[in-house]
Structure 1
Amino acid sequence: MLTALAAGAYVLPGGSILRRMVGAQDESMPSSLRVEGTWVFSGSGVKEAAGALRVPFERSELIADGAILIKTPGRCRFELSVPEGTRLAAVQASGRRRAEGAELAPLMAALSQLCPVLGVRASSDHDLATRDAVEQHLQSLGIATRTTSLARFGGEVAYVLGEPEEGKPQFWIYKDGFRPARVRWKEKTGPAWDVRFIDYTSPATGEWMPRSLEVWRDGQRVLRFTAIKSDTRAALNDKLFAP
């Protein structure tokens, strides 16, 4: 899945890559978006989710209905529920995160990366400030944003911001379309995380959102969201994103 490309190939500077990514999002990202789909917990994530949703821990996967809500700039909400259990939500606004109900680490990891890199739509007058905000977020994860290379992800060529060695904090961006592909980082006293953005060609989401969002922890997939349908005219109450 992941194959490094020739070292001699020309690679754009990190600042230019981020500027083009932000510009591509400004052209296509709606100001409000509701994406409905399913959350699937697997591996070590099943036990955590079963406890949080108050359902028996007796299966290899746990599937929950839910949605991703985005209101630009920088407000995101994840919702999930199961018929026999309870409801949960995770919210990020103005860089602050909170949980409604029990806090799930994989869900928070996904939220912490989707909102800063996909919920940053801005007018062209503010492209530079938006790019700088994204870069600061990546640098806070230990990503060396001025170091760039090329690699393959899911069969597509991607720019890689960060040291190219395996295990280093990195931000990957699809070369065609300049869409976020993955964020890799490690907590100081915690696990290594890998949040992946997959398939921007699905009619379920259009090119503004990936059809699938995956969370990997220490090399194991623990969460996947798959979109079923989206609504770019959803009336999203500001109270849903209250910090």
Structure 2
Amino acid sequence: MTFFAQYAHSPLLIYSIVATMMFLSSFGLPLPEEVTIVALGLMVHMGKYPDQYPPPPGISVQPLNLYTAMAVCFFSIMVSDSIVYWVGRKFGASPLVHKLFRKFLGEHSLEKSRTMIHKHRFLVPAIFRFTPGVRFPGHLSCGMMGISIWTFLAADGLAALISVPTQVYLFATYGEVILSTIKQIKHYALIIALIAVAIFIVVKLKQKVFGKKDPVPEAEV
């Protein structure tokens, strides 16, 4: 929270970072865009209360604007997703590029994307937005398989318009409740995380120690 507070009064910097993170998320960065959205919403909330979350010394109080934050998030996502679509539309037909796509993304991801496109042609851009691990290859496949740009923009834009501004608004408006809840449960969350890690280590060790089978002796002739 201290880390976020020191940037809650630097709008241009934050909006630039948000746009960059959304671009990277659209291109497969293994960090959900929701992380960026939640952080932005919390910083909007902190910027409204400089007495509780004071900026570092020497920085003028210039809080983030809620509606500007919503717009930056939404348009950053739409531009980034459209670029991914365009890359698939422009270069997907090339055998060499198509082969690179398959090698980089994996056969399973591309085939899963194509199956979804065949079943739900109009809705797939919106479905891909809420499907972890398939968003980048999915939007790429939309371009490669010739889905209309207007269909893509309508479906993807509707999904983003519903989810993105709503999340920013909720975290910006009810940030105090959310932050207090985080403070209350963080110790329990840490304990749960440590238990999960311990279980994972025990399972892996058990598999390593007891999972090996003795070689079957060759039959004597």
Give me the TM-score of the superposition, normalised by structure 1. Answer: 0.26
Whose strand fraction is larger, Structure 1's or Structure 2's? 1
For the pair shown, the structure with the greater C-alpha radius of gyration is 2
Give me the TM-score of the superposition, normalised by structure 2. Answer: 0.28
